[in-house]
Amino acid sequence: MKREKLLAANWKLNLPAEGIAAYCAAMRGRGAADPELVVSPPAPFVDALVNESKGAGTGFGVASQNTSQHDQGAFTGEVSARMIAGLGARYAILGHSERRTLFGESDEMIGQKLAKAFDAGLVPIFCIGESQETRDAGKTLAWLDAQVKTAMTTAARSFSRLVVAYEPIWAIGTGRNAKNPEIQEAHQAIAGMLEGLVPDDCTLSILYGGSVKADNAAEIASLSEVDGFLVGGASLVSASFLSIWGAMRR
Ligand code: PEP
């Protein structure tokens, strides 16, 4: 398995105060392509972001924040992976903890969503992570293993690119990022869990997510098992998101 660096923004149900055009101009003006940047706007703005991502300057990838486990039918409010791919987006965040806890997504459902994303040619940014209670009980790795195995065996697809985001729930939006040894241990374990579930020629990125900011990014990025970040709050201002990107290049 080859590993690749990547930095992804998750705007959630927000738009940047500076405006989409100004934010994207800053992304394109960064002057280098590596590591790849991905921006995940709310679904109605995927089209605009895809167009902005191709303007003058260095391009970037676009992700949806969710896609359906269905292709079509009587599923009010859903958006399919094929529709998102048809807009020109390359990635889809799947299984974010907010989808799991607020919208009742199970590991099986996330596996079905992974399957549809792969079929549509999207690269999943597959999120996993434990609660504080699970960590306190010393069950983090077993929890992550169950999340990985159930979703990946439900998806049962062959693919050539996968992004996994390790996001401890207790670190998301709380200002409390995981400690370096906790991150390193989880990432190393996740890489092991994926062996046998991911094709040998697959390119993999294992991202950390949870209160990443410009001032803690360089230290976490220096961990050997960390390929990049999925960033919520600090991705809403292009300058702070780009300083995280700069920290990954040091
Ligand atoms: C996220 O929502 O994926 C996330 C990591 O959020 P934050 O960076 O705000 O903790």
**CA 92 – ligand 1 centroid, Å:** 16
Catalytic residues: 96, 167
Domain that holds residue 124: 2-248
Candidates 90, 28, 98, 37; CA nearest to 64 is 90
* DSSP structure class, residue 177: P
How distant, in Å, are the alpha carbons of 62, 159, 228 from that of 8? 9, 20, 8
E strands along the chain, which residues? Answer: 2-3, 6-10, 36-40, 61-64, 91-94, 123-128, 161-166, 203-208, 228-231
Q: What is the C-alpha to C-alpha distance for residues 80 and 120, in angstroms, rounded to an integer?
A: 9
pLDDT tens, the chain, 250 aa long? 899 999 999 999 999 999 999 999 999 999 999 999 999 999 999 999 999 999 999 999 999 999 999 999 999 999 999 999 999 999 999 999 999 999 999 999 999 999 999 999 999 999 999 999 999 999 999 999 999 999 999 999 999 999 999 999 999 999 988 999 999 999 999 999 999 999 999 999 999 999 999 999 999 999 999 999 999 999 999 999 999 999 999 8
**CA 210 – ligand 1 centroid, Å:** 5
**CA 209 – ligand 1 centroid, Å:** 6
Q: Is the CB of 247 under 6 A from ligand 1?
A: no
Q: Is the CB of 63 under 6 A from ligand 1?
A: no
> Which value, in Å, is the radius of gyration of the alpha carbons in the chain?
17
CATH code (residue 221): 3.20.20.70
Q: Is the CB of 173 under 6 A from ligand 1?
A: yes
Q: What is the C-alpha to C-alpha distance for residues 14 and 26, in angstroms, rounded to an integer?
A: 18
Q: Is the CB of 8 under 6 A from ligand 1?
A: no
What tokens appear for 45 in the block? 């703005």
Check the CA dihedral 19-24-25-29 and report its sign: positive
Bridge partners (DSSP) of residue 58 are none
Task: Please give the tally of structural domains in the chain.
Answer: 1
Q: Atom 3, ligand 1: which residue's CA is nearest?
A: 232
Q: Is the CB of 207 under 6 A from ligand 1?
A: no
Check the CA dihedral 192-170-13-233 and report its sign: negative
The CB density around residue 127, as the number of other CB atoms within 10 Å, is 25
